[in-house]
Amino acid sequence: MTATRDRLPPLAADALTGAQRAVADAIARGPRGGVYGPFVPLLRSPELADCAQRMGEYLRYRSAIGTRLSELAILVIAREWNQTVEWAIHMPIAEKAGIARATIEAIAARRRPDAMDDDETIIHDFCVEIAHDKSVSDATYDRALARFGEHGVVDLAGINGYYTLLAMVMNVAGTPAATTPAVSLAG
C-alpha cells in the first residue's frame, strides 16, 4: 500500500516555527544546500530533523566506507523500500561516483548485479541480507569486517538504518520525487 498524495508537502517559509526555521537554515547551509527530499516531512519534528540531518551528513559524506560504496548501499536500501525520492537523488550520484550502470539497472530490477568488484559485492550482500533477514550472516559479517574493519561495519549498519528511517518517513508522507532518474525503479 502506498500513499496516493503528498501528505506532508513543503511548508511555506512564513509558516515555519522558530525551531523549524533554525533547522531548515542549518540544512541549507550544509553540504545539501537546501531542504528537499526527506527533510520536507521531517521539518514537522524539528529536533528529529536536526538529529537526522547531522547523522546523514556524516554517513553520506564522511563514512568509513567512502562515498562510492555508501552510494551503492543507499541504492540497495532505496530499492528494498521502493523509495523513489532517495533513488532519484542518489542514482546519478552513485553513477558519477563510479557505480556501473549495469549494476544500477540490476538493483532497480531487483536482480543481483553480475559484475561487481569485491567491495561492491560485500556492500550489496550486507545490505540485502540486513533488509531481508534483519541481520547478516557470520560469513557476510566476517567479509565486511576483514575489508572495512569494525568502524566500517558499524558505519555500514548505520547507513542501512539511517536510509531506512528516511525511506519510512517519505513512504508514510508520500513525498514525491522531484526528478525522474535515468534508471527508474521497476515495479
Q: What is the pLDDT of residue 3?
A: 82
Q: What is the pLDDT of residue 54?
A: 95
pLDDT in tens, 130-159: 999 999 999 999 999 999 999 999 999 999
Q: What is the pLDDT of residue 184?
A: 61
Extract the C-alpha cell encoding 43. Answer: 521539518
Tally Cβ neighbours within 10 Å of residue 78.
Answer: 27
Rounded-to-integer distance, Cα 76 and Cα 87, Å: 9
Q: What is the pLDDT of residue 180?
A: 60
Rounded-to-integer distance, Cα 37 and Cα 175, Å: 7
Following DSSP, what letter does each residue of 17-75 receive, concatenated?
-HHHHHHHHHHHHSTT-S--TTHHHHTTSHHHHHHHHHHHHHHHHS-TT-HHHHHHHHH
Share of the chain above pLDDT 90, in %: 88
| Per-state percent for the chain, helix, strand, coil, to nearest 5 | 65, 0, 35
Give the residue extent of every domain in the chain.
14-61, 67-173
10-residue averages of pLDDT along the chain (187 residues): 87 94 94 91 97 96 97 98 96 98 98 97 98 98 98 98 98 86 59
Name the pTM for this structure.
0.94
Q: What is the pLDDT of residue 183?
A: 64
Q: What is the pLDDT of residue 187?
A: 53
Q: What is the pLDDT of residue 177?
A: 86
DSSP code for 114: S
Helix axes 46-61, 138-173, angle to 10 degrees: 140
Q: What is the pLDDT of residue 181?
A: 56
